[in-house]
A and B are shown apart, each in its own frame.
Chain A
Amino acid sequence: QSALTQPASVSGSPGQSITISCTGTSSDVGGYNYVSWYQQHPGKAPKVMIYDVSNRPSGVSSRFSGSKSGNTASLTISGLQAEDEADYYCSSYISSSTNYVFGTGTKVTVL
């Protein structure tokens, strides 16, 4: 199972909006509404930001939103803040046998 494809880096100025894409196939991203997104600061464990394509866990800022079209999922961060600078990973459930696959990761830089 190949990793999902994400851009290596995305940057934006404070207050701007950015979007991170996550491209897979009809066997993963396109086949299930089970895409999740994780934020990881250096030296820390990942933290879930979005479940099931577009659902936000309690406690996660409403500035984070998710969507999906075909085989590509997206994470949008609006009103970019310095604390949003981190690595972001998408993940998709695949099946009961293979379970999950992660994206290649995107480094978000706040200019």
Chain B
Amino acid sequence: QVQLVQSGAEVKKPGASVKVSCKASGYTFTSYYMHWVRQAPGQGLEWMGIINTSGGSRTYAQKFQGRVTMTRDTSTSTVFMELSSLRSEDTAVYYCARESDTSYGFDIWGQGTMVTVSS
């Protein structure tokens, strides 16, 4: 079945970097764009950016420009999101989400990866 499986929870110190993976299965990986969305504890959803899984081009939300890098590995159908210079406000659940190929919206979501930033 179509699914996105993300890497496990991470605990990082302020100033460090974190890299979260999202492995796709059950569909043609390069036929769909992938997004990253985060959710701080008790807060709403926040769009972070998009990666074209075919060509590799990326667009990041202005808030994360300079700190986030999204990449993909087509050989393993995996996308990655790396966030650097972590601060406590980056503590959140990070989701990968597939963009529908027929509509503007996210049809498949990963299970989420909790990233905790604490000294």
Q: Which residues of B contact A1 (CB under 8 A)?
A: 61-62
Interface residues on B, range: 20 to 34
CB of B81, distance to nearest CB on chain A (Å): 15
Q: What is the number of residues of chain A that contact chain B, defined by CB distance less than 8 Å?
A: 27
Asked if A34 and B109 sit within 8 Å, CB to CB, the answer is no
The main secondary structure of chain B at its interface with chain A is strand
Query: Quick one: which of B35, B103, B111 contacts A100, CB cutoff 8 A?
Result: B35
CB of B59 closer than 8 Å to a CB of A: yes
Which residues does chain A contribute within 8 Å of B110, judged by CB atoms?
45
A-chain residues with CB within 8 Å of residue B106 when the two chains form the complex: 36, 38, 46, 48, 91
Within the complex, which residue of A91, A97, A101 is in contact with B105, where a contact is CB–CB below 8 Å? A91
Question: Counting CB contacts under 8 A, is B50 at the interface?
Answer: yes
Contact A96 B45 (CB under 8 A): no
Tell me whether B46 is interfacial, beta carbon within 8 Å. Answer: yes
* Other-chain residue from B44, B49, B109, B112 in contact with A105 (beta carbon distance below 8 A): B44
Confirm or deny: B64 has a beta carbon within 8 angstroms of a beta carbon on chain A: no
